[in-house]
Amino acid sequence: MDYFKAFNDNYGHLLGDVCLVHIAEIINQVGKRETDLAARFGGEEFVLLIPENEGNEAATVAEVLRQKIENSPFHVDGKTFLVTVSIGVASIQPTHKIDSRQLIEQADSALYQAKHQGRNIVIVHSN
């Protein structure tokens, strides 16, 4: 989530948790294939594993996810909250020798590029 620390500071950790649940529900809607796996990675970061996809399918799914979150406000105590996310995408082919740690590092690098480029965007890691 973009600016999650500021959100927590302004609205409190309980509302921050509501926001994270809101985002997690959307991630689970988008990552809906039986083989997809969504998990909270830490803090306000999530991972969505999309195995057995072709071409830029992961980037397409990430953009759908970004737009869905941006266009899905949540409501608490009569207040409406809009949030955005920055997404880093990394992928491998089964023939490449890369471990899970390297894959996460690539996605994390792309995420930081997205944040540096203004947030609320998807960046695909390039080798």
Rounded to the nearest 5 percent, the helix, strand and coil shares of the chain are 45, 20, 35
Q: What is the pLDDT of residues 57-68, one digit of tens each?
A: 889 999 999 999
In CATH, what number is assigned to the domain containing residue 67? 3.30.70.270
Provide the CA 15 distance to its chain's centre, in angstroms. 19
Active site positions, annotated: 44
- Host domain of residue 20: 4-124
Question: Tell me: the pLDDT tens digits for 88-116?
Answer: 999 887 776 777 888 899 999 999 999 99
Domain count, the chain: 1
By percentage, how much of the chain surpasses pLDDT 90? 72
pLDDT, tens digit, for every residue of 35-87?
A: 889 999 888 999 998 888 765 888 999 999 999 999 999 999 999 999 999 99
- 3-state SS, residue 110: helix
- Closest residue by Cα to residue 6 from 83, 78, 76, 121: 83
pTM of structure? 0.90
